[in-house]
Amino acid sequence: GQNIDQPTEMTATEGAIVQINCTYQTSGFNGLFWYQQHAGEAPTFLSYNVLDGLEEKGRFSSFLSRSKGYSYLLLKELQMKDSASYLCAVILRQAGTALIFGKGTTLSVSS
Amino acid sequence: EAGVTQFPSHSVIEKGQTVTLRCDPISGHDNLYWYRRVMGKEIKFLLHFVKESKQDESGMPNNRFLAERTGGTYSTLKVQPAELEDSGVYFCASSQEFGSGAEQYFGPGTRLTVT
């Protein structure tokens, strides 16, 4: 079976840095996505990693280690609006374009 | 550019009834996906259309679920007859490109409650 693990909840304060980890054990791997989802809204794309290393995009960065089956999403200079669920999703080679999701990490940012 | 839209936003039906969910993808996106999130679980893939053809329907739970995309534009997902375990949020997504790196744009979902 496919297994993607993320912490269920995290808390942080405004202005801080938070790292959300994702580990995966899957039969095949063809890339990892991070999505942000505010309550009652659509998941929105944050990043895509297929090669090892760090991808930086503004306040958000995503890292991938394929050999370790590990990724993290790094959020800097946290703002209240960053309070949301963060979803890690893997594409398997065999499954084409179907996304395999973790359960998501609910991040609460306080002032 | 309008995003992916879904209708209705909420639906409450009784066990045994029929419900049809609709998804309008972003204009020009040939790829359309259906996903479902049951309470407490992760979002799970149901099926993938390329234009009007079903590319992958490996995630469809059983034959009570019927997805169509006539004309390759909007799609419908019908549940008939609905069971209690069908309750959850049904998401639709679309993408312009085909392939593992193609960004999928999600709609806000339809929350289905079966009582």
Mean pLDDT of A60-78: 98
Mean pLDDT of chain B: 94
Q: What is the mean pLDDT of chain A?
A: 94
Residue A15: Cβ within 10 Å count? 11
pLDDT at residue A27 in the model: 87
Q: Give the residue on A whose Cα is nearest the Cα of B46.
A: A98
Nearest-angstrom CA–CA distance, A73 and A62: 5
For the cut 70, the answer to whether the pLDDT of residue A95 exceeds it is no
Distance from CA of B48 to the nearest CA of A (A): 7
pLDDT at B83: 97
| Predicted confidence band of residue A6 (pLDDT cuts 50, 70, 90) | very high
Chain A contact present for B28, CB below 8 A: no
Q: Does B106 touch chain A (CB under 8 A)?
A: yes
Report the C-alpha gap between A5 and B68 in whole angstroms: 33
> CA–CA separation, B70 vs B51, rounded Å?
9
Chain B interface mutation, best of A91, A97, A99, A100, highest count of B Cβ atoms under 10 Å: A97
> Measured at the alpha carbon of residue B63, what is the angle toward residues B82 and B74, in degrees to the nearest 5?
80
pLDDT band at B1 (very low <50, low <70, confident <90, very high): low
Percent of chain B residues past pLDDT 90, beyond the cut: 87
- Using 50, 70 and 90 to split pLDDT, how confident is the model at B34? very high
Q: Are B80 and B32 in contact (CB under 8 A)?
A: no
Sign of the CA dihedral running A43, A90, B47, B30: positive
Q: How confident is the model at residue A92, as a pLDDT?
A: 85
Question: In the numeric block, which tokens belong to residue A13?
Answer: 């304060």
CB pair distance less than 8 Å for A96 and B35: no
Pair of tokens at residue B95: 């993408």
Lowest mean pLDDT among A26-30, B15-19, B78-82: A26-30
The amino acid present at B4, given as its one-letter code, is: V
Residue A75 has pLDDT above 90, yes or no: yes
* pLDDT given for residue A52 in this prediction: 97
* Strand pairing class (B19-24; B75-79): antiparallel
Query: Residue A101's pLDDT is what?
Result: 97
Q: Which residue of B has its CA nearest to A6?
A: B42
Cβ atoms within 10 Å, residue A108: 13
Tens-place pLDDT, residues A38-58:
999 999 999 999 999 999 999
A28-49 burial, b for 16+ CB within 10 Å, e for fewer? ebbbbbbbbbeeeebbeebbbb
